[in-house]
Structure 1
Amino acid sequence: MNKKEEIIKLRRNGLGYKRIAMILDISPNTVKSICQRGEIDKGLTAATNVCPVCGEILKQTKGKRQKKYCSDACRMKWWNSHLDKVNRQSYTSHQCLNCQKMFQSYANSERKYCCHSCYIASRFGGNHD
């Protein structure tokens, strides 16, 4: 199946230009122009989301947060292949209060120790592994 046929299929399944572009790894403007030239409208199906990795239609659970990937394997595959899009601003550098080593923590700007054993050694005066 060529890109144009895939674009038409995804568009008729109810996906928007940006989502189709992300799935097929092409420009949203390319998707838009192909859809507009072919007068392809967005389909009105119940399942409007597909996995950006494998293209499988996602089954959404009512009352839960919307799924973006069909499985953890697809989620990890997408993130590992798009490391440039990962927001790494949540990493902060710290110096361990016990061993004085520099370490990084993710999403915890208040962290004081590099590991649990350093916390125990500092707090209770010994290494209690």
Structure 2
Amino acid sequence: MPAWHECAERMWATGATLRQIAEATDIAVSTIRRHLLTLERGGKDPATIGWCPVCGQPLRQGTSRAGQRFCCTAHRRTWWANHPEHCPR
């Protein structure tokens, strides 16, 4: 995967516009749009499903199990300890 993919995905996730992403990566707006919309539709790279809410690391997911939310057990425990209001108990 080209280096600009991760940068574009991270910027898109934080609310940047297509034009801002294109200017930052020096890639055409249409190329950025095609890549990001393909990901949103579950296209070419379904293994990347999001980012760890603690460190921002991209999460990789296989096809045989439920989606991953955290990159590691330590980050999962840290997040739940700091957000008890989201705990389904």
TM-score normalised to the size of structure 2?
Answer: 0.51
Matches within 5 A, 1:70-81: 70-81=71-82
Hey, what does 1:82 align to over in structure 2? 83
Q: CA deviation at 1:11?
A: 4.0
CA distance in 2 between partners of 1:55 and 1:36 (Å): 20
- Alignment correspondent of 2:25: none
Unaligned runs of 5+ in 2: 1-7, 23-32, 40-44
Q: Does 1:35 align with 2:21?
A: no
Structure 1 residue 84: deviation in Å?
Answer: 2.2
Structure 1 residue 10 corresponds to structure 2 residue 10: yes
| Greater helix content | 2
**1:48 Cα offset (Å):** 3.4
Unmatched tracts of structure 1, length 5 or more? 1-7, 21-30, 89-129
Post-superposition Cα deviations, 1:39-90, rounded to whole Å, max 9, x if no partner, equal 87572452231111111111101121111111111111111111122233xx
Structure 1 residues 66 and 37: CA distance shift in structure 2, 3 A:
same
Spell out structure 1 runs of 4+ moving beyond 3 A.
34-42
Return the TM-score normalized by structure 1.
Answer: 0.38
What is the alpha-carbon distance in structure 2 between the residues aligned to residue 51 and residue 39 of structure 1? 21
For residues 76 and 51 of structure 1, the distance between their equivalents in structure 2, rounded to whole angstroms, comes to 12
What is the root-mean-square deviation in Å for CA atoms of aligned residues? Answer: 3.1
Total equivalences in the alignment: 64
Change (3 A) 1:59 1:85: same
User: Which of 1 and 2 has greater Rg?
Assistant: 1
